[in-house]
């Protein structure tokens, strides 16, 4: 195969991959929102809970950066989550000027339940994949994620 044909083939493959990943992302996002309808939290609150669950206590600034939100928007989000007993503001024991957002049991319960439901959904979608296909998909997606990080 000539280098021009290889380049065109790669370009088409990249376009097909981008389209598939975009569609998969949209489907997962919508399914996640459907699951959240059973809970009294918004999608941005879920994202905030997820960051806290994965990273531990974070400051408003750290959480804002991870969520790509203004600090004022994140503060409003945390105010509502604190009112609903999902998170708590706590002073950092090393520096009392620093306030961290701490995930409470109810927030952790919601995150774990929602993620479990999302994983069950994904399991249902890959039921026809054999073990080799699953390992290849996992390996490829992890490699892509690492390249993007």
H helix intervals, 1-149? 3-36, 43-55, 60-67, 71-83, 105-125, 131-148
Domain ranges of the chain: 1-37, 40-148
Contact 77, 48 (CB under 8 A): yes
- How far apart, in Å, are the Cα atoms of 94 and each of 51, 52, 58, 91, 128? 22, 19, 14, 9, 52
User: How confident is the prediction along the chain (149 residues), in pLDDT tens digits per residue?
Assistant: 678 888 889 899 999 999 999 999 999 989 989 999 999 899 999 999 999 999 999 999 999 999 999 999 999 999 999 999 999 999 988 888 999 999 999 999 999 999 999 999 999 999 999 999 999 999 999 999 999 98
Architecture of the structural domain at 40-148: Orthogonal Bundle (1.10)
Task: Please give the model's pTM, rounded to 2 decimal places.
Answer: 0.82
**pLDDT of 6:** 83
């Amino acid at each position: 195969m000539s280098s021009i044909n290889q380049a065109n083939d790669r370009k088409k493959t990249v376009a097909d991959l981008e389209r598939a990943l975009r569609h998969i992302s949209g489907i997962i996002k919508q399914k996640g929102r459907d699951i959240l309808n059973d809970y009294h939290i918004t999608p941005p609150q879920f994202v905030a809970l997820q960051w806290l669950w994965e990273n531990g206590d974070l400051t408003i600034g750290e959480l804002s950066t991870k969520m790509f939100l203004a600090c004022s928007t994140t503060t409003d989000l945390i105010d509502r989550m604190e009112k609903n007993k999902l998170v708590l503001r706590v002073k950092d024991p090393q520096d009392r000027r620093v306030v961290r957002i701490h995930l409470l049991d109810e927030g952790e319960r919601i995150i774990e339940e929602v993620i479990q439901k999302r994983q069950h959904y994904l399991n249902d979608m890959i039921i026809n994949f054999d073990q080799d296909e699953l390992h290849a998909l996992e390996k490829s997606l992890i490699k892509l994620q690492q390249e993007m990080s």
